[in-house]
Structure 1
Amino acid sequence: MTVNPAHSALWPAPHASGAVDATVHVPGSKSVTNRALVLAALASEPGWLRRPLRSRDTLLMAGALRAMGVQIEETVSSSSSVAGGPDGTGEAWRVLPTGLHGPATVDVGNAGTVMRFLPPVAALADGPIRFDGDPRSYERPLHGVIDALRQLGARIDDDGRGALPLTVHGGGALDGGPVSIDASSSSQFVSALLLSGPRYNQGVEVRHTGASLPSLPHIRMTVDMLRAVGAQVDTPESGGEPNVWRVTPGALLGRDLTIEPDLSNAQPFLAAALVTGGKVLIPDWPERTTQPGDRLREIFTEMGGSCELTEFGLVFTGSGAVHGIDVDLSDVGELTPGIAAVAALADSPSTLRGVAHLRLHETDRLAALTKEINELGGDVTETADGLHIRPRPLHGGVFHTYEDHRMATAGAIIGLAVEGVRIENVATTAKTLPDFPELWTGMLGQ
């Protein structure tokens, strides 16, 4: 395997000379794009995705579906309906669900959505589908999906690992029905089964049997998107049993969907306003959304900023002071690295709770944040389910990213206030946020 020179290069994180004042067009949501791709591939008619995110994770998802026989046509239009940025142009993907078949090989990279959402799809294919990926993907939990599919009648070869690599021997259909799983290590186990559930002969009933579920907003996102394409879904919130989700079998509609901006990827830019006492506008911030990143409005306001949702988007303004926070992030764990970076620059201690599951993400995010912030002079300790952060004067140094996009953006946040921070492999941000270095320096006017 050839190594991209950018992976080993050190990126000098730009230092802010004053308050930022910028408009940042954040690309589309990865979580919405990849769910929309799966639903469009399983639909009974063609559909459109407008302003989709083009990043490593979404291109892996599109490539995987193409490998299984789905046609995805990419177009660029100057129509305002697909406008993707200030230049008035944008991209649209037309998805033609032309049948699922093998043999095929799927590269999941290190994308949780691809490695978990697509084995249930592959069970519907006619022929074997092999799944492989980056070395880290072998360490990420997949047993919930594998065990559930076996309960539902699928044949899977994984040599007993409960992890990648594996082969799903698709039989062209799957009976489906009730299944019990422990999804406490990843809510994606639930979403994966729900997304394909309408295509199973009996639908699917997913019962979570473990400890508390992390990232519930992502399951709500899955449910909302299923309902939007015509699926009938019963949930605990709609009067069903606790920890049980039911999807009725039925055809899915093709949709013309415009993808929302990725609110979690807006985090570093909002943090920049908070840390520098400046102002950032994120255009097209939705009034209503199931994206976990929407909680940034509440969290960063408590940490010293203020926000206003206007006709142009979200305007976030820093006050010049950054306060510590005691917060349960169990529903929004992906926001932890950025919040930890801001907390390391605050005027009082912070405790981030409810995120033990982050030890199983792209890297062990709790250990990585502790090590990297402390090596810059910080005082971070791991707890059983999170981090305790005592602000200390920080100094420059190398901030390692562990092939984790959110570690890279966390380092960039610290670099705004601390001179001499150099980020290893900033290119890893392409996983979900293409062109991050350019967006970052553009925000700073550099």
Structure 2
Amino acid sequence: MTPQISRLRPLSARIPGSKSITTRALLLAAAAKGTSTLWAPLVSHDTLAFRAALGSLGVAVETSPSDQFWDVTGNGRGPVGTGEVWCADAGTAARFLPPFSAAGEGTFTFDGSEQLRARPLSPLMKAMTALGAELETPVPGRFPLTVRASGLEGGELRVDSSMSSQFLSGLLMTAPLMRHPVRADLSGSVSRPYLDMTLALMRRFGADVQESGDGVVEVRPGGYRPAAVVIEPDASTASYVFAAAAATEHRVTVPGLCGRSLQGDLRFVDTLRQLGARVEVSDRDVTVTGTGRLRGGLTLDMGDISDTFMTLAAIAPLADAPLTIGGVRHARFKESDRIAAVAQNLRACGIRVDETEDSVTVHPGPLRPARIACHRDHRIAMAFSVLGLAAQVPLTLDDPSCVTKTFPGFHQEMARLFPYYEVPEYR
């Protein structure tokens, strides 16, 4: 364990808004008839790309001077006309906006960065075609994509969600704009908590959503009504400060997260509890306190909270026995192959890692200085920043600025919370 620095001083972390809630609320507000207000939205590369993409589809988004809130005005249906839509690196824009555009009328072309072009979209495109969409793409299953929109029929929704639940979320959010009810079986989908978040937000915007006990959902036509939504802090992002607290014997509180959170990734603190950290969840905040020990010898299925598996893997070398993290095959299809990236970087630090198609086993051991390959992936950069902090070993990020995808002020906030954290120089 690292030296105890301000161990007893409670630290209140400033975590930005949830990306998952911000992007879903943006889409649902765009589909509603009237003006919705999003309070405390996440302002980052991904959400700004999503907001700009909505503008390309004709959706008006007015912002307050300091981005305290965004007002989104929708027309109660899909977009109309033509649009050239740039999604940058934002996977949520690539998965959520094509179905929304297909529910409208016109021709809309979507494209993104080389990183986004490399991410598979075949399950989404296949499901959209089955619902009546007309699609054109020069590379099957990849961006760029042209949607020739004339509305979507609805009916039975079948989509392969083994790689990402976002395919299904994007289609479900468009379902109230379709001509007929949509039925979908959610069983077998990865990251089920994200689907639950999608359905909860759809209901908040007035959608008619019925769910049976066997995991089948029916969404009926009728559209959305405007709503005001307060965006809670991002639980995935909070995992880094919680892990840092657990590994450095600090006490860190994140105000605004609570047991009623829509975000499944808050369950990461339960994982830290299993490792020996002290966890307190109130109706106003969540606090994690390090106890001086990280307990290993565990096998943990993190399939439902896979965006946090890198956080745990990064501090696993500090545990007192090996840790196995499984159920995360779909993490190979994110911004990077996250299983491979974690294994590569831990090995560069001198740590033994056993890797399978859907798991990693991390063995404890002394670390050596290393250069971390971020693969333009914000979560790899943030996770290994926590390891460098906790182990007090110089780890150099090859792309420290990639954190701006979801948390532009990450390095500065870590330095505020942990005085011995060194803010890297951006290129």
Q: Secondary structure at the match of 1:293?
A: helix
Scaled by the length of structure 1, the TM-score of the pair is 0.89
Q: How far apart are residue 136 of structure 1 and its match?
A: 1.9
Other-structure match for 1:391 = 364
Deviations 1:253-276 (A, max 9, x none): 100110010011001101111111
- Distance, in Å, in 2 between the alignment partners of 1:28 and 1:299 is 22
Other-structure match for 2:158 = 180
Other-structure match for 2:22 = 33
Other-structure match for 2:295 = 323
- Distance, in Å, in 2 between the alignment partners of 1:111 and 1:61 is 7
1:18 aligns with 2:11: no
Q: How far apart are residue 392 of structure 1 and its match?
A: 1.1
Q: Aligned residues: percent identity? A: 35
Q: How far apart are residue 249 of structure 1 and its match?
A: 0.4
Which residue, out of 178, 186, 189, partners 1:200?
178
* Residue pair 1:19, 1:276 contacting (<8 A) in 2 also: no
Q: Which amino acid aligns with 1:122?
A: S
- Distance, in Å, in 2 between the alignment partners of 1:406 and 1:289 is 21
* Residue pair 1:343, 1:389 contacting (<8 A) in 2 also: yes
1:233-272 pair list within 5 angstroms: 233-235=209-211, 238-239=212-213, 241-242=214-215, 244-272=216-244
1:119 aligns with 2:105: no
Deviations 1:373-407 (A, max 9, x none): 11111111212311011111001111110000110
Which residue, out of 185, 207, 216, partners 2:192?
216
Q: How far apart are residue 17 of structure 1 and its match?
A: 6.9
Q: Secondary structure at the match of 1:403?
A: coil
Q: How far apart are residue 115 of structure 1 and its match?
A: 0.5
Q: Which amino acid aligns with 1:95?
A: V
* Residue pair 1:396, 1:418 contacting (<8 A) in 2 also: no
- Distance, in Å, in 2 between the alignment partners of 1:187 and 1:111 is 15
Q: Which amino acid aligns with 1:44?
A: K
* Residue pair 1:46, 1:97 contacting (<8 A) in 2 also: yes
* Residue pair 2:17, 2:40 contacting (<8 A) in 1 also: yes
- Distance, in Å, in 2 between the alignment partners of 1:160 and 1:341 is 36
Q: Secondary structure at the match of 2:34?
A: coil
1:438 aligns with 2:412: yes
Other-structure match for 1:354 = 327
- Distance, in Å, in 1 between the alignment partners of 2:286 and 2:132 is 47
- Distance, in Å, in 2 between the alignment partners of 1:299 and 1:421 is 25
Aligned residues: 413
- Distance, in Å, in 1 between the alignment partners of 2:301 and 2:259 is 23
Deviations 1:289-331 (A, max 9, x none): 2312210221011112111134652121000111223100111
Over 3 Å off, 4+ runs: none
The 1:97/1:393 distance shift into structure 2, 3 A limit, reads same
1:226 aligns with 2:199: no
Which structure has more relative contact order (CA 8 Å, sep 6+)? It is 1
Which residue, out of 397, 401, 425, partners 1:427?
401
The answer for unaligned runs of 5 or more in structure 1 is 1-14, 78-89
Q: Secondary structure at the match of 1:94?
A: strand
Q: Secondary structure at the match of 2:61?
A: strand
Q: How far apart are residue 437 of structure 1 and its match?
A: 1.0
Which residue, out of 144, 148, 151, partners 2:127?
148
Q: Which amino acid aligns with 2:80?
A: H
Q: How far apart are residue 251 of structure 1 and its match?
A: 2.6
1:103 aligns with 2:82: yes
> RMSD value over aligned CA atoms?
1.8
Other-structure match for 2:49 = 60
Q: Secondary structure at the match of 1:156?
A: strand
Which residue, out of 291, 299, 302, partners 2:263?
291
- Distance, in Å, in 1 between the alignment partners of 2:3 and 2:182 is 51
The answer for unaligned runs of 5 or more in structure 2 is 421-427
Q: How far apart are residue 164 of structure 1 and its match?
A: 1.0
Q: How far apart are residue 181 of structure 1 and its match?
A: 1.9
- Distance, in Å, in 2 between the alignment partners of 1:406 and 1:206 is 31
The 1:352/1:300 distance shift into structure 2, 3 A limit, reads same
Q: Which amino acid aligns with 1:392?
A: G
Q: Which amino acid aligns with 1:220?
A: D
* Residue pair 2:258, 2:283 contacting (<8 A) in 1 also: no
Other-structure match for 1:11 = none
- Distance, in Å, in 1 between the alignment partners of 2:393 and 2:338 is 24
Q: How far apart are residue 19 of structure 1 and its match?
A: 5.2
